Structure 1
Amino acid sequence: MPDPTTVGGDVPPPWCDRCGEPARSGPHPACAAARALEPPRFCARCRRRMKVQILPAGWSAVCVEHGEFRG
């Protein structure tokens, strides 16, 4: 299963996984706070909107390019 927090090795992803804006544009404190309770909505690697499903034991998010992420 791909790791949504890195692009490859220790390289941080270029996009915010909650709002879809560039991650390097500055801090995203509201997104970080929301991610503590919500699943990601955008793929942090390619910025595509993901199909998200909330499950009793967590969540599942699918990017058509990068596959499934779980939490």
Structure 2
Amino acid sequence: MTVGTTCGHCGQPVAEPHPRCEQMLALEPPRFCTRCGRRMKVQVTPREWAATCVEHGTVAG
């Protein structure tokens, strides 16, 4: 689930795998943009979620 240069859960660089973060990303939306590392605005509803980076747009799930 971690794509790009930054972990979507913890916001740290992805030089090596983050197994705990990958487990958490399977259960909840990403908190950080995987392309730039910025904190994203996350909106969760009972049926779906959306995470928005001001630079790279929205990821939905």
Q: Given the two structures, how large is their TM-score scaled by the length of structure 2?
A: 0.90
RMSD of aligned alpha carbons: 1.2
* Runs of 4+ residues deviating >3 angstroms: none
- Which amino acid letter does the alignment assign opposite residue 39 of structure 1? P
- Which amino acid letter does the alignment assign opposite residue 13 of structure 1? G
Alignment partner, residue 13 of structure 2: 22
Cα distance in 2 for partners of 1:31, 1:70 equals 18
- Unaligned runs of 5+ residues in structure 1 are 6-11
- Superposition deviation, residue 58 in structure 1: 1.4
Identity, in percent, stands at: 57
- Select the structure of larger CA radius of gyration: 1
Is the partner of 2:49 in helix, strand or coil?
strand
Q: Given the two structures, how large is their TM-score scaled by the length of structure 1?
A: 0.78
- Unaligned runs of 5+ residues in structure 2 are none
